[in-house]
């Protein structure tokens, strides 16, 4: 069937406008419309210590040393560890992993664990998604004669820990090219190290009698870790996720296929599935279960084992939801006392430290302010905290500054997320410190809270073809927001609450077309109450993101409602 040139031209124009409004230069539209690694991948050697790290790992591979990958317990840590373990085993190395227990060991490398791994035979340890601020732990390893390579993306202090190599685009002494990739998740940095390692081994003749690993096959891990860690989806990260979703759809990794099945996805995963369906299941192991489950799932070649682990993670994820709801209710009860704070600092005894990051994110979304949730140990008064920030407020830098000021036992992170350890007695002083440092940035962020709209249409314009055109500008996430569409004017035909607290609408326009809309977790909002109780005889403009609802006999467009305004 021939494509109408006018329609095709309109689709291309909409796509171009979406890219332009997301900061793409006019002469760079083609590259961003189809983000590939060929177009966006930098030379790994541009990163400090990258070549040194590749050389040291290659030496270990060629000499038969035992290598341990020391990962974090979240999705970025699990995917980073799985990527390097998979690669190292493919090139013939003796590679194993160590994932610390969130409750017993906390975040980051433990000096005791590093030394013990060395005593057990690992002459080289590679930390992933942690280690950039582990000065004491890495010094213990160095003093014990254990080489440690750090692969991380969290904020660094000016003084770096002792390491055989420290690869991190957020080093303060990085080149401009490498620093421009500071938005990479740790798994993205690990993938660059994989490229450098294969290149080094190739130069050493390692592949004269064996096949080189297919690096592209690792991109499913890169995509999952990047999206789940809420890394900004622009530049190289968009290419990682775009290509990684294609690899994931092939279901070649037993653990990834089992994870997709456990999430009951009947189609190839989309970008949003990585953050809302697959990622939370991997995270559940580290949050409320066994920290090694994620890496075990992503490295196994046994479909039966993969299915068992994926089912276990799904069950743990349900447990996590229940625990999370209790902590969130208790934390929200404290918000009223924090109304003058630039950053919400909420703390409680008995809160499960495995869910505080999620709760901090929920409260951040609800209040529009950076939020830190601290789980206090009733025995020793030490709290483990996790924070989430808003665009324009660098929470990670503030946490590092608070640690350097002596307010924290430990702490670090990046602009949008951070972790910390604090004494109960320092909580108020810590909150005052954040007020003084961040209040101006937070106020500026609040003042700039406007909803950017990409398109305005009548209800008849909400077609599957429009959604497909908008989706071509994806994948979408932090730093590359999904398109928002305004629809109207419309009258509300039906408005009610479904599920626990979701607002459901049926709206009709003056063109005679109607459509469904839903606003998640919005039942108690002013918007929901207005649309339910005060919509009679009024017309509205509705705004949100459009999705395909394919539950019926033919695809329909549904609006995921974010805001509403009177049209009269």
8-12, 23-27, 97-101, 104-108: lowest mean pLDDT where?
8-12
pLDDT band at 89 (very low <50, low <70, confident <90, very high): very high
pLDDT band at 5 (very low <50, low <70, confident <90, very high): very low
Q: Any residues with CB less than 8 A from the CB of 12 and at least 6 apart, and which?
A: none
pLDDT band at 6 (very low <50, low <70, confident <90, very high): very low
End-to-end CA distance of the chain: 43
37 domain residue, yes or no: no
- CATH of residue 495's domain is 2.40.50.140
What is residue 379's predicted lDDT score, i.e. its pLDDT? 78
pLDDT tens-digit readout, 181-197: 999 999 999 999 999 99
Mean pLDDT, rounded, for 88-101: 95
Question: Which of 280, 315, 350 delimits the end of a domain?
Answer: 315
What is residue 107's predicted lDDT score, i.e. its pLDDT? 75
Mean pLDDT, rounded, for 246-257: 98
The pLDDT of residue 534 is above 70: yes
Alpha-carbon span 38 to 55, nearest angstrom:
24
- CATH of residue 419's domain is 3.10.310.30
Adjacency order of strands within the sheet including 122-128: 94-98, 66-71, 122-128, 147-151, 165-167
| 288 & 351 share domain | no
What is residue 552's predicted lDDT score, i.e. its pLDDT? 62
Going by C-alpha positions, the residue among 178, 140, 146, 189 that lies closest to residue 161 is: 140
26 domain residue, yes or no: no
pTM of the model: 0.87
pLDDT band at 9 (very low <50, low <70, confident <90, very high): low
| 273 & 140 share domain | yes
- State how many domains the chain has: 3
| 144 & 215 share domain | yes
299 domain residue, yes or no: yes
| 371 & 485 share domain | no
4 domain residue, yes or no: no
The pLDDT of residue 102 is above 80: no
What is residue 101's predicted lDDT score, i.e. its pLDDT? 85
| 248 & 356 share domain | no
Q: Which SS3 state, helix, strand or coil, does residue 66 take?
A: strand
pLDDT tens-digit readout, 434-489: 999 999 999 998 887 778 899 999 999 999 999 999 999 999 988 899 999 999 99
| 86 & 210 share domain | yes
| 423 & 482 share domain | no
242 domain residue, yes or no: yes
pLDDT tens-digit readout, 370-397: 999 999 987 788 999 999 999 899 999 9
Look up residue 560 and give its two tokens.
Answer: 């995921």
Q: Which of 53-57, 381-385, 419-423 has the highest mean pLDDT?
A: 53-57
Mean pLDDT, rounded, for 401-412: 93
Alpha-carbon span 420 to 94, nearest angstrom:
34
The pLDDT of residue 7 is above 60: no
| 442 conformational bin, left if phi > 0, alpha if psi -120 to 50, beta if neither | alpha
pLDDT band at 48 (very low <50, low <70, confident <90, very high): very high
| 429 & 469 share domain | no
The pLDDT of residue 503 is above 80: yes
The pLDDT of residue 11 is above 90: no
| 443 & 465 share domain | no
Here the contacts of 94-98 (C-beta below 8 Å, separation 24 or greater) are 94/64, 94/65, 94/66, 94/67, 95/67, 95/68, 95/69, 96/66, 96/67, 96/68, 96/69, 96/122, 97/68, 97/69, 97/70, 97/71, 97/292, 97/295, 97/299, 98/68, 98/69, 98/70, 98/71, 98/125
472 domain residue, yes or no: yes
Bridge-based pairing state of the strands 382-388 and 344-349: unpaired
183 domain residue, yes or no: yes
More confident residue, 12 or 503: 503
What is the domain extent for residue 401?
337-447
| 443 & 459 share domain | no
- CATH of residue 246's domain is 3.90.1640.30
Q: Is the peptide bond before 475 cis (omega within 30 degrees of 0)?
A: yes
Q: 71, 150 in Cβ contact below 8 A?
A: no
DSSP state of 490: E
| 390 & 418 share domain | yes
Question: Which of 412, 428, 447 delimits the end of a domain?
Answer: 447
The pLDDT of residue 565 is above 50: yes
Mean pLDDT of all residues belonging to the chain: 93
What is residue 474's predicted lDDT score, i.e. its pLDDT? 92
| 117 & 227 share domain | yes
Question: Which of 447, 481, 496 delimits the end of a domain?
Answer: 447
212 domain residue, yes or no: yes
Look up residue 389 and give its two tokens.
Answer: 């920030």
pLDDT band at 224 (very low <50, low <70, confident <90, very high): very high
The pLDDT of residue 4 is above 50: no
């Amino acid at each position: 069937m021939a494509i109408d040139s006018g329609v095709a031209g309109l689709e291309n124009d909409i796509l171009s406008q979406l890219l332009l409004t997301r900061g793409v230069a006019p002469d760079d539209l083609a590259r961003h419309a189809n983000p590939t690694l060929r177009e966006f991948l930098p030379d790994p050697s541009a990163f400090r210590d990258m070549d040194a790290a590749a050389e040291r790992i290659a030496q270990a591979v060629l000499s038969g040393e035992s290598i341990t990958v020391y990962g974090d317990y979240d999705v970025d840590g699990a995917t980073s560890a799985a990527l390097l373990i998979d690669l190292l085993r493919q090139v013939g190395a003796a590679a194993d992993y160590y994932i610390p227990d969130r409750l017993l060991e906390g975040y980051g490398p433990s000096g005791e664990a590093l030394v013990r791994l060395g005593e057990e035979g690992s002459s080289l340890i590679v930390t992933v998604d942690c280690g950039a601020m582990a000065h004491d732990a890495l010094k213990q390893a160095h003093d014990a004669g254990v080489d440690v390579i750090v692969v991380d993306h969290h904020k660094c202090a000016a003084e770096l820990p002792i390491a055989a190599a420290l690869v991190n685009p957020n080093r303060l002494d990085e080149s401009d090219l490498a620093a421009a990739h500071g938005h990479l998740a740790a798994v993205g940095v690990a993938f660059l190290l994989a490229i450098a390692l294969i290149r080094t081994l190739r130069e050493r003749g390692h592949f004269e009698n064996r096949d080189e690993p297919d690096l592209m096959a690792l991109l499913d891990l890169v995509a999952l870790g990047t999206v789940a860690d809420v890394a900004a989806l622009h530049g190289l990260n968009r290419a990682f996720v775009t290509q990684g979703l294609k690899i994931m759809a092939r279901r070649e990794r037993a653990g990834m296929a089992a994870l997709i099945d456990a999430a009951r996805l009947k189609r190839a995963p989309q970008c949003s599935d990585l953050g809302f369906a697959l990622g939370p299941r991997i995270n559940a192991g580290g949050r409320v279960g066994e920290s090694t489950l994620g890496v075990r799932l992503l490295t196994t070649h046994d479909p039966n084992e993969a299915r068992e682990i994926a089912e276990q993670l799904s069950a743990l994820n349900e447990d996590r939801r229940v625990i999370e709801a209790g902590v969130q209710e208790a934390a929200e009860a404290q918000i009223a006392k924090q109304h003058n704070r630039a950053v919400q600092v909420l703390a409680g005894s008995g809160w499960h430290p495995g869910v505080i990051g999620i709760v901090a994110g929920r409260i951040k979304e609800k209040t529009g302010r950076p939020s830190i949730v601290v789980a206090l140990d009733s025995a020793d008064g030490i709290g483990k905290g996790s924070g989430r920030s808003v665009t324009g407020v660098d929470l990670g830098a503030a946490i590092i500054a608070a640690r350097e000021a002596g307010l924290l036992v430990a702490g670090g992170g990046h602009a949008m997320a951070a972790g910390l350890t604090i004494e109960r007695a320092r909580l108020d002083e810590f909150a005052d410190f954040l007020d003084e440092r961040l209040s101006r940035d937070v106020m500026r962020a609040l003042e700039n809270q406007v909803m950017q709209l990409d398109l305005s249409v009548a209800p008849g314009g909400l077609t599957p073809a429009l959604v497909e055109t908008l989706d071509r500008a994806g994948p979408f996430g932090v730093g590359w927001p999904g398109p928002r569409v305004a629809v109207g004017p419309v009258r509300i035909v039906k408005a009610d609450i479904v599920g626990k607290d979701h607002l459901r609408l049926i709206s009709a326009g003056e063109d005679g077309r109607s459509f469904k809309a839903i606003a998640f977790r919005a039942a108690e909002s002013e918007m929901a109450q207005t649309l339910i109780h005060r919509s009679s005889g009024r017309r509205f403009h509705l705004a949100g993101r459009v999705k395909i609802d394919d539950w019926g006999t033919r695809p329909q467009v549904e609006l995921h409602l974010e805001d509403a305004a009177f049209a009269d």
